[in-house]
Every structure is written in structure tokens, then in C-alpha cells.
Structure 1
Amino acid sequence: MPTTLLKSDLPGLNLVHRGKVRDVYALSDDELLIVASDRLSAFDVVLPDPIPGKGEILTQMSNFWFARTAHVVPNHLTGRAVEAVLPAGVDAALYARRSVISKRLKPVPFEAIARGFLIGSGWKDYQASGSLCGVALPRGLRQAERLPEPIFTPSTKAAVGGHDENVSFAVVANQVGAELAGQVRDATLAVYRFAAEFASSRGILIADTKLEFGTDADGRLYVMDEMLTPDSSRFWPADQYRIGTSPPSFDKQYVRDYLESLGWNKQPPGPSIPAAVIEATAAKYAEALFRLADIRLD
């Protein structure tokens, strides 16, 4: 059965970062232990109620995609067993399916986003300016319409409680250098195209996805953190896709839609989520994992 973990507790390990969803521990100068909790973030605010099993689903889906895309871009996984590094007395079953041991990399300080459809903040930007992150788009596009080609639309990486902001490719290149920025852009679009084609064969459209990258001591680029999960992507059932409206999804859009109905100002603290919304969201995540990866966490 799925486990529930709102906040990790690993005595004796060095907690270096507690993010919106993941808790990161330093194992050495070269390795990290990354634990995906069941916390849910919406509109860059961590909500008070966990989604049971979500961290396990995120980790298993990420691991599935890391394996599938290893030929496209290397990833941060070491393959080492998590149980070997857990402190004595810790319930290994609570952490086994939601944790990985990863390479310790230097993060690229931007979110790498690929968009294949016009939705979310991208739709709002297009309505206001006719472009998205400095990328000019054809006139007359409608909400949720497929873009002529997938585009790379990076954003800043906000701290917990902050808000990510879309930026242009030029801003990324200016900060990290044109060569690294180009590598990140090309890898992001290559991963998106590969995943979108695979997901389409499973009846799912990937509207957009957000990736994170890091470099090792030799400057080699790796994708890290998570990959193509319901937290970092919009997954739409292909048979319910309609241009002109926001399609139903297998991700946390269900929670976003509920929060939008409250008139909440999207500032901390976040509102509590009703049990029915929590259960429906957990079911959406689980269905996405099964449809894409044939994995059930029973």
C-alpha cells in the first residue's frame, strides 16, 4: 500500500534543503539522498494537506522516464540502494519507493520548460503580447492549441514561498553562458519530443513539462531532481482534448482548479484541501503512473 510522508525525519543525516516537495540530504561530497514527500505545491505555495502516496508516484515515474531517456541526456541517478544509507531505526518501507541516491551536481539556476500546447501562464502571456518568453507565435491561436513546434520557455527558480518568473533564452545565456544555455535548451526539447511521442501511444498528451539540470566537475550536463511527473508536467487524456478550453488532466491541475474557485490570493498560507479533492488527486496521479509506466503502487 502507498505510504504517507509529509516531512522526512532522518536523524544523523545532513539535511541541506527542504523544498516544496523534496527533502535533500548530503551523503558525501559526491552524493545526495533525495526524498520525495507527499507535500503538494500549487501556485508556488506549499499546501497544508499531503496527498498520500504522491511522493512514491513521483519517484517511480521519474525513475521510469530517467531510464527511458538515458540515451537522450544522462541523469543524476547513481543506482545505489536507498536502504543502505538510512539511519538505524528508520522504517525503510516509508522511504524505499520515494527516495533515490543521486550524483551531487551544480544546479543550473533556471527551470527548463518545454511547451507543446498553449495553456496556463503561456496562454495568458500570449493573450497579452502575442508571444511567450520572447518567442513570437502565430496570430489567432486558441487556448490549449498545439503549437507549430515545441518551444523552450525558461523561468527563474524561486525559493519556497516565492514565484517563478518566465524569462527569455537571452537572459539564461547571459547568466550561464551561451554554450550551456544551448545545451539545456536542446536537451529539454529533445526529452519533450521523445516523451510526447511515447505518451501519445498511451493516450496521453503532454502539454508542457519542466526539467531541472546540473553539471558535474567536468561540466557535463545531467537532468536531475524529477522528470515528467504530474507535479512538473501537464498530462491530458487524448480522447478528452478539445481546443478552446482547459482539458481535464492527470496532474495537480485538479487542485489548481479547486483553489481558483475559492478566490484565494495565492499567498501563504495555503488553504486546506477537502478529503474528496485529496482522494481524487491521488487517483489522478496513480492513473497517470499506470497508463504511462504500467506501474501500480498497491
Structure 2
Amino acid sequence: MSNAITKTSFKLPGQTDLYVGKVRDVYHIKDELLIMVTTDRISAFDVVLPRGIPYKGQVLNQIAAKFLDATEDILPNWKIATPDPMVTVGRLCEPFKVEMVIRGYLSGHAWREYKEGKRMICGVPMPEGMKENDKFPEPIITPTTKAAVGHDEDIPREEILKQGLVDEAEYLKLEDYTRKLYKRGTEMAAHMGLILVDTKYEFGKDGDEIYLIDEIHTPDSSRYFYLEGYERRQAAGESQKQLSKEFVREWLIANNFQGKEGQVMPEMTDLFVNQVSERYIELYESITGSKFERADISDVLTRVEQNILKFITAYYR
């Protein structure tokens, strides 16, 4: 028995496929349902760390479920049910071959490009005279390809249309949905004393209908700053206080690991694993404004499997 899930190997009724990502195990059922198990795996520098983080999967799954429910008036989403705190069941959609990244602030990848002297990203101009973490006059959309292997790559709208990855009418809809979703996420974050700096959305189709798919507004897919003190820190040229898993990357760097060849993964002690778990619970409570209810993890793998089987039995009754 273990109190963290790092691997699943369920044999589910009607199972036709299993996709294993860095964090999620996704089961296809009868080519119509997806059962997404958000595991307790944690990755940094494109490497999955050797130990799972108790409650991390529950944190990410429940944040995503909350924001999917809070945005379903903007467009329908893939979610059908959450039969377990770590599981979302949804409709199987055909994903668009691009991810829609939207940035309200000059941070992360956009800042790295800007610092190198570039003033265009994905064909979108960035104003002169900006500092790291400054707010853009208007949020900018910087799509990426959806890479099956390796890193996603920036791709301008013109190239998306030229390659026929998305047709023009649907691409304009994706841009419109992206702006509306980001606006909603920004408003909800502000209510919690946070800034939604940048995020990404994925969309898919079932028939002629466009759906929002995957996770949204989680610390794994989004960057948050604390609103209080933002202006003061910007004026003083200080780093912004972030709400993300950046602290894990910092610990790895301090222990001489950045995923490069020849580097040795530092030991993840029980103390460190518990500290990361507590930080994820803090992330949940800061983002949602709700107290985190710890699920029973005395035998978490059995619990998750039984809850999935109950759902499938009831769904196909």
C-alpha cells in the first residue's frame, strides 16, 4: 500500500487505450469516454521525479474541476463527472493540434524572448521599454504546436492557417474563447488576491461542437502572482511572489540538478516530500478560497480503482 499514486495499470471494462503523460494516466473507454487519473507524479525540467507527492493529484484535479464548472457558460467542456478526488471522466474529443497560450504579463518564455532583443512572439508585437513581469497593454495570444514528443513550439496564427492545422473560422472561435476564459480566470484570481499571469487552454471537437478539454487554471498549466505588493515589487525591480511549483525547481537547482546529462537527481527525503505536499495544499486553498479536504489515502490506488469501476458500472447500466 502507498499513500501516493505514481503509476496505474488498471484493466477497466471497455478499455480501448491508455495514454501515460508526465502527470496524468488517461484511459479510453469504448472510444467514447476518457477517464483521466491525475497521479501524484511531479515533473520539473522535463523529468519525472522519483517520488510522488501525496495529495498533489487531488489538488490539481479538484482545481481543474472547479474552473471547468465556473466557465461552462462560455463554452461546453469535456467533463462529465469526478467520481474520485483524483479522477475526471469526460467525453472523448478530437483535440485541435494547437494549444492556445495567453499572456497578460511579460513573464517566462515571453520574457526570455524579449530579453534576447525579440519584439515579436508568434507574430504578435511586444511594446518597447518593458521590464520583466510588466503587464501588457492587452493580453496576447501566443499559440504553440502540440508536440507528441519533446517540446511544444511557438507558431503564429498565419502558420496555423497555412498548414491547415485549424481552419480560419474555427481558429477565430478558439481565440475568442481563449480571451473570454482568461478574462474569467483573471477575475476569479483577483477575487482571491492573485494575478493570473499566463495560462494555456486546449480545445477539441466532438462532431461539430467545440469543447474545452484537459485541465485549466491549475498551477501546472498557469502562472500566478500575488496581487498584494505587485506594483511595489515592479517599481523596485524585485522578483514577483509566485504561486507555482517554482519552489521545486529552486530546490533541484540548489542541489545541482536541472535535468542535464550526467547530473544526479538529489534524494527526496520524507521531510521534503511532505513539505511539497503541504505547499500544494496551500496552492489549492489560495486559488480556490476553499479549505482542502484530505481524502483517505491509506490505500489510495484501491480507492481510485473502485470509484472508477462504480462509475463505469452505473454509466453503462
- 2:282 match: secondary structure: helix
Q: How many angstroms apart in 2 are the aligned matches of 1:281 and 1:143?
A: 27
Say yes or no: does 1:63 pair with 2:75: no
Tell me if the contact between 1:119 and 1:246 (Cα under 8 Å) persists in the aligned partners.
no
* Residues paired across the two proteins, number: 281
Q: How many angstroms apart in 1 are the aligned matches of 2:272 and 2:135?
A: 29
1:101 to 64, 89, 109: 89
1:131 to 120, 124, 132: 120
Corresponding letter in the other structure for 1:20: K
Q: 1:278 to 1:186 in 2, by over 3 A?
A: farther
1:202 to 179, 187, 192: 192
1:156 to 145, 163, 170: 145
Q: How many angstroms apart in 2 are the aligned matches of 1:78 and 1:266?
A: 37
Q: 1:106 to 1:267 in 2, by over 3 A?
A: farther
Instruction: Structure 2: give runs of 5+ residues left out of the alignment.
Output: 295-317
Summarize deviations over 1:95-153 as a string: whole Å, max 9, x none.
x1111110000011122111111111110111220232221111111011111111111
Say yes or no: does 1:271 pair with 2:265: yes
- 2:4 match: secondary structure: coil
Q: How does 1:118-267 map to 2 (within 5 A)?
A: 118-128=106-116, 129-159=118-148, 162-174=150-162, 175-218=165-208, 220-241=209-230, 242-243=233-234, 244-262=237-255, 264=257, 266-267=259-260
Say yes or no: does 1:116 pair with 2:95: no
Tell me if the contact between 1:48 and 1:272 (Cα under 8 Å) persists in the aligned partners.
no
TM-score by length of 2: 0.81
Q: How does 1:18-37 map to 2 (within 5 A)?
A: 18-37=20-39
User: Which residue number corresponds to residue 302 of structure 2?
Assistant: none
Summarize deviations over 1:151-189 as a string: whole Å, max 9, x none.
1111122335x1222221222233212122222222112
TM-score by length of 1: 0.86
- 1:78 match: secondary structure: strand
Q: How many angstroms apart in 1 are the aligned matches of 2:254 and 2:119?
A: 27
Q: How many angstroms apart in 2 are the aligned matches of 1:203 and 1:154?
A: 28
- 1:5 match: secondary structure: coil
Percent pairwise identity: 33
Instruction: Structure 1: give runs of 5+ residues left out of the alignment.
Output: 83-95
Q: How many angstroms apart in 1 are the aligned matches of 2:213 and 2:238?
A: 32
Q: How many angstroms apart in 1 are the aligned matches of 2:57 and 2:64?
A: 10
User: Which residue number corresponds to residue 6 of structure 1?
Assistant: 6
Corresponding letter in the other structure for 1:60: Q
Q: CA deviation at 1:283?
A: 2.6
Tell me if the contact between 2:40 and 2:55 (Cα under 8 Å) persists in the aligned partners.
yes
Q: CA deviation at 1:267?
A: 4.7
Summarize deviations over 1:52-110 as a string: whole Å, max 9, x none.
2111111100110011111112110123x63xxxxxxxxxxxxx111111000001112
Corresponding letter in the other structure for 2:287: L
Q: CA deviation at 1:18?
A: 0.5
User: Which residue number corresponds to residue 314 of structure 2?
Assistant: none
Q: How many angstroms apart in 2 are the aligned matches of 1:15 and 1:270?
A: 34
Q: How many angstroms apart in 2 are the aligned matches of 1:262 and 1:173?
A: 44
Say yes or no: does 1:51 pair with 2:40: no
